[in-house]
Structure 1
Amino acid sequence: MHQIDEETNKNRKESKHFWGFPFTDFSYFFIWAVVNGYLTLWMEQVGHLNGAESGAVFSMMAGISLFYQPVFGVISDKLLFKKNLILLIAAAGILIGPYFQWVFLPLMRINSFLVAIVTGAFLSFVLNGGVSVIEQYVQRASLANKFEYAHARVGGSVAGVVAALVAGRLFIWQPNSIFWACTVAAVILVLLLVFSDKIDTDNASAAGDTNDSLDWHTVISVFKIKNLWVLAIFYMGASALFDVFDQQFIIFFRTFFHTTAQSTLVYSYMSSGQTAIEFLLMFPMPWIINRIGSKNGLIAYGIVTAIRILGSALAPNWIWVVGFRLLAGLEMPLLLTSIMKYIAGAFDIRLYATIYALASNFAKQISVFVFSSVAGHLYDTIGYQHTYIYMGIFVLFITIFAAFFLKKENPVQAGERDTEGRPLS
């Protein structure tokens, strides 16, 4: 009996300081979901940008983030649990509403390339660059506070559901209001970071050392790791194409309907269904990845992504498109759970944020930078269906490459746990 009480107290201790982090993810990924879900439509309807001009904005977001990613990664590894950088990113998010209300359109009247540069620099700071800072911070908190990252990331899935339900209606009512909703979410994020998120300092070493000894020589040495390059190539092919595919998907989806309002409403319901599936799968996904391994989880993600892209290209009507779109509800839990465990289990934990920024986000943004403009041009010339076929085949090829060359992770180092929450050994 005494042993049971001891185990209960241990589990209670391991789960403390959890609840602030799902709300942090909710606030941030609400902004992410709104901007990535509706920016293209806003630029077409309100900004009157064509496919190539919209693609240029996303290319700049990806290209400029190539500066942010490695710098943010190294700074995050140095700061560890200090919140200086993450608070700066959250504070910048507050400016999203004012920027699109009063700055974007005047810049567009001056020059479309200028608006692409300014918008890309601003949004990539908050989103493309900032996302790795948010994600690695919560992942490290999960190691220190002894909870599964995927369970905190459920907050991001809920944000996707809420954003899909709210943003579609806000856009129909007043397009600019979607960006003011992002401003409100950023204010909440700042408050959560300041007053809510707590770290179990007694176990902080599980997420890395204080890293005062981390120097540029150590950081640069990661480029000699073969597995870093294999992971980067996988992300450049699979995850990047996932993002490029989604950038103008709402425009493709609209071609199946007679009115914009009808397509926007169905898109809203479809996105809600997708994120609801994502939300539900976040709970069992750590258990699944613990069983199959994080490398296999990444491979499964690549296969599902290829099926979704190819299926959308060949879909005869919007019902089939919705069906394949719902697969994204499986993709994100697979990717997010697998990549966090994989990096922790296959690389030096001291360089967690640097590896994540370089192999996942930096490499991915190189690919997005290139493919966004290429895809935008192809959409205007050969159409969405043919472009999607090329994308799907490319993702499948890259996934096969990763299946052969990605290193197997160390499950203990990855923080994988058994059915009772104990670390695997």
Structure 2
Amino acid sequence: MKQKVSAFKNPFYLQGSLSLLMFFMAWGIWWSFFQIWLTTRLGFSGTQVGTIYTFNSAITLVLMFVYGSIQDHLGLKRNLLLVITVLEMLLGPFFTWIYAPLLHTNFLVGALLGSLYLSFAFLAASPTFEALAERMGRRFGYEYGKARAWGSFGYAIAALCAGYLFTISPYIVFWLSSGFSVITFIILITGSRTKQSTIDKFENQAEEAKEAQKPSFKEILQVFKLPELWKLTIFIIFSGSFYTVFDQQMFPEFFTRFFATQASGDTAYGILNSIEVFLEAIMMALVPAMMKKIGVRRTLLIGVTVMFVRIGLCGIVTNPLGISIVKLLHAPETAIFALAMFRYLTLHFDTRLSATMYMVVGQIAGQVGQIIFSTPLGTLHDKIGYQSTFLIISAIVICAAIYAFVILKKDDQDVNGQPLEID
């Protein structure tokens, strides 16, 4: 058993944290304003924006399984992430000279090409970065939630900066994203050259032995035959998928409408978004302790309840201060879904398949939900407005919460992965 040391003295914790920090900065600085850019700068309707998000989700859906299976085979190797990061460096040129012009000249071709690029470079990359950091945490003795908190911190910094820079020119944030991706690439290269003596000092031999037995492609495909997988998939489709449908596709423009000018609304949204993600970073560090105290199943149920309350209140509250307070509930909700779902999977399923399982349940299911809901809810918003649409989404989420109460396993039931430590 390796002696525990301070997280900041663990080079693997530093590698995982820094790579997540820079990736989420590169993603958050443009993604947090993507919907506002499409609606207020490019002038697209709710239906058109829904179409773009549907294309994004459809391509990401397939790609996540590919990325997950590749990363499970690679184990701790960063080859896949290095290729992804090279693609991320191209975001500034792509948005400036290809994506925006093509959306105006041929919308469907532009939406399809843009979705191909965004899925390969960012949307399917996020869970791949997270899966590698989680695997490194089990292998080299650090808590994944603490490393993931740095990702939220990076997103918060980026969103805050974007709130000011976006009002000057959206293209500034696109090019900054490319710059942050260069730094991410350097961090990944540096981390891949860790000395063997350092690996020996921190490596958990039991986890190393387990990881050494690489899952075959047949074993990865067997995942799709597990009934429990499909039960969880249905839960995420009707809950976790609303992170993009509600929070990215609808909420940004809805919030900025409360302000006298678009510029003041954009700045206020950037500040609010950054405060929320700063709180999310804090919650990322607290949720692991929460799971040890009350269990993974109860933590997940609390998360979906917070989602129902938050989206429902957005359909009722009619002033910017109230909406801002409600938005902050997104912090505990996101942390719970990101960490508790991952821990649920590593508790009840084979940890060798953690990347694939997380892609299928934590991410691909969400993409399926976005394909189902993005365009219809975008059209519904065009017809009945944002707040009535939010109440409908909230009703769907409460049904998902009831379903989760029935299907989620207790923490001591069918423990086929890493057992939960209880305080």
The equivalent of 2:4 in structure 1 is: 11
In 2, Cα distance between equivalents of 1:265 and 1:109: 26
The equivalent of 1:53 in structure 2 is: 48
8 Å contact from structure 1 (residues 24, 155) kept in 2: no
- Report matched runs for 1:279-290 at 5 Å: 279-290=281-292
SS class of match (1:147): coil
Q: Does 1:371 align with 2:373?
A: yes
- Picking from 125, 128, 149, the partner of 1:154 is 149
Q: Does 1:93 align with 2:88?
A: yes
Deviation of the 1:354 alpha carbon: 1.2
SS class of match (1:12): coil
In 2, Cα distance between equivalents of 1:211 and 1:28: 29
In 1, Cα distance between equivalents of 2:225 and 2:103: 43
Q: Cα gap change, 1:194/1:313 in structure 2, threshold over 3 Å: closer, same or farther? A: same
Q: Cα gap change, 1:117/1:204 in structure 2, threshold over 3 Å: closer, same or farther? A: farther
8 Å contact from structure 1 (residues 29, 156) kept in 2: yes
- Report matched runs for 1:247-326 at 5 Å: 247-326=249-328
> In the TM superposition, what whole-angstrom CA distance separates every residue of 1:20-50 from its partner, at most 9, and x where no partner exists?
2111111111233223310111122332222
In structure 2, stretches of 5+ residues that fail to align are none
In 2, Cα distance between equivalents of 1:64 and 1:205: 37
Q: Does 1:115 align with 2:110?
A: yes
In 1, Cα distance between equivalents of 2:94 and 2:419: 41
Relative to the length of structure 1, the TM-score reads 0.92
SS class of match (1:238): coil
The equivalent of 2:167 in structure 1 is: 172
The equivalent of 1:225 in structure 2 is: 226
Deviation of the 1:389 alpha carbon: 0.5
Q: Does 1:40 align with 2:42?
A: no
In 1, Cα distance between equivalents of 2:68 and 2:370: 19
Q: List 4+ stretches of structure 1 deviating above 6 A.
A: none
The equivalent of 1:354 in structure 2 is: 356
How many pairs does the alignment contain?
A: 411
Q: Which amino acid aligns with 1:327?
A: L
Q: Cα gap change, 1:402/1:45 in structure 2, threshold over 3 Å: closer, same or farther? A: same
> In the TM superposition, what whole-angstrom CA distance separates every residue of 1:183-232 from its partner, at most 9, and x where no partner exists?
111111111111036584642651642344x3232122222222111111
The equivalent of 1:422 in structure 2 is: none
SS class of match (2:243): helix
Q: Which moved more, 1:306-315 or 1:156-165?
A: 156-165
SS class of match (2:259): coil
Deviation of the 1:106 alpha carbon: 2.5
Q: Does 1:242 align with 2:243?
A: yes
Q: Which amino acid aligns with 2:410?
A: K
Q: Which amino acid aligns with 1:385?
A: Q
Q: Which amino acid aligns with 1:264?
A: D
- Report matched runs for 1:20-39 at 5 Å: 20-39=15-34
Deviation of the 1:386 alpha carbon: 0.9
In 2, Cα distance between equivalents of 1:415 and 1:185: 37
8 Å contact from structure 2 (residues 350, 416) kept in 1: no
In 1, Cα distance between equivalents of 2:421 and 2:93: 45
> In the TM superposition, what whole-angstrom CA distance separates every residue of 1:122-157 from its partner, at most 9, and x where no partner exists?
111122211121111000000011111010011112
Q: Which amino acid aligns with 1:363?
A: A
8 Å contact from structure 1 (residues 78, 211) kept in 2: no
> In the TM superposition, what whole-angstrom CA distance separates every residue of 1:237-260 from its partner, at most 9, and x where no partner exists?
111012210122111112212211
8 Å contact from structure 2 (residues 61, 364) kept in 1: yes
Q: Which amino acid aligns with 1:231?
A: L
In 2, Cα distance between equivalents of 1:374 and 1:306: 20
Q: Which moved more, 1:346-355 or 1:32-41?
A: 32-41
The equivalent of 2:330 in structure 1 is: 328
Q: Which amino acid aligns with 2:174?
A: F
In structure 1, stretches of 5+ residues that fail to align are 1-6, 420-425
Q: What is the Cα-based RMSD across aligned positions, in Å? A: 2.0
Relative to the length of structure 2, the TM-score reads 0.92
Q: Which moved more, 1:378-387 or 1:106-115?
A: 106-115
- Percentage of matched positions with identical amino acids: 27
Deviation of the 1:56 alpha carbon: 1.2
Deviation of the 1:277 alpha carbon: 1.3
In 1, Cα distance between equivalents of 2:290 and 2:69: 31
